[in-house]
Structure 1
Amino acid sequence: MAMSRQWVRPAWRVWSGIGLAALGTVMARPALPGLIVGTLCVAYGLAWRFWAAGHVQKGATITTTGPYRLHRHPLYWGTFWLGVGFAWMINRPWFWAAFLAYYALVYGLTMVQEEAFLQRRFGPLYEAYAARVPRWLPLGRGPRLADPSTRWSWARARRHREHRTLIAVGLWSLLFWLRWKWAL
Structure 2
Amino acid sequence: MIEPVRIEANPPVSTWSRVARRIRVPLSFAFAIAYVWLAHPTRESLLAGALLLVPGLVLRGLASGHVQKDKQLTTSGPYSYTRNPLYLGSLILAAGFVVAARSGWIPAILLVLFVVIYVPVIAGEERYLRNTFPEYDDYARQVPRFLMRFTRYGNQRGEFSSERYWKHREYNAIIGCIVLLAILVVKMMLWPTT
Q: TM-score, normalised by structure 1?
A: 0.88
Indicate if the aligned counterparts of 1:54 and 1:152 stay in contact, CA closer than 8 A.
yes
Q: Which blocks of at least 5 consecutive residues in structure 1 are unaligned? A: none
- Alignment pair present for 1:157 and 2:168: no
Q: Which has the higher contact order (CA 8 A, sep 6+)?
A: 2
Structure-1 residue corresponding to 2:136: 126
Mapping 1:103-114, distance limit 5 Å: 103-114=114-125
CA deviation vs aligned residue, 1:3-35 (integer Å, no higher than 9, x gap):
784614434112212211211112211122321
CA deviation vs aligned residue, 1:94-150 (integer Å, no higher than 9, x gap):
111111221233221111111111111113x000000110002122630264x6xx2
Distance (Å, rounded) in 1 between the aligned partners of 2:128 and 2:173: 25
Structure-1 residue corresponding to 2:127: 116
Of 136, 139, 164, which residue of structure 1 is paired with 2:146? 136
RMSD: 2.0
Distance (Å, rounded) in 2 between the aligned partners of 1:13 and 1:101: 13
Count of residue pairs the alignment pairs up: 180
Indicate if the aligned counterparts of 2:12 and 2:128 stay in contact, CA closer than 8 A.
no
Structure-2 residue corresponding to 1:64: 75
Indicate if the aligned counterparts of 1:49 and 1:75 stay in contact, CA closer than 8 A.
yes
Residue type matched to 2:147 in 1?
Answer: L
Indicate if the aligned counterparts of 1:118 and 1:126 stay in contact, CA closer than 8 A.
yes
- Alignment pair present for 1:168 and 2:176: yes
Offset, 1:183: 3.2
Q: Which blocks of at least 5 consecutive residues in structure 2 are unaligned? A: 1-10
SS in 2 for 1:59: coil
SS in 1 for 2:66: coil
Where in structure 1 do 4 or more consecutive aligned residues deviate above 6 Å?
A: none
Residue type matched to 1:135 in 2?
Answer: R
Residue type matched to 1:23 in 2?
Answer: A
Distance (Å, rounded) in 1 between the aligned partners of 2:189 and 2:155: 46
Q: Using the aligned pairs only, state the percent identity.
A: 29
Stretch of structure 1 that moved more, 99-108 or 74-83:
99-108
Residue type matched to 2:82 in 1?
Answer: H
Q: TM-score, normalised by structure 2?
A: 0.84
Mapping 1:51-90, distance limit 5 Å: 51-90=62-101
Indicate if the aligned counterparts of 2:41 and 2:184 stay in contact, CA closer than 8 A.
yes
Distance (Å, rounded) in 1 between the aligned partners of 2:45 and 2:88: 20
Distance (Å, rounded) in 2 between the aligned partners of 1:4 and 1:113: 7
Distance (Å, rounded) in 2 between the aligned partners of 1:82 and 1:139: 20
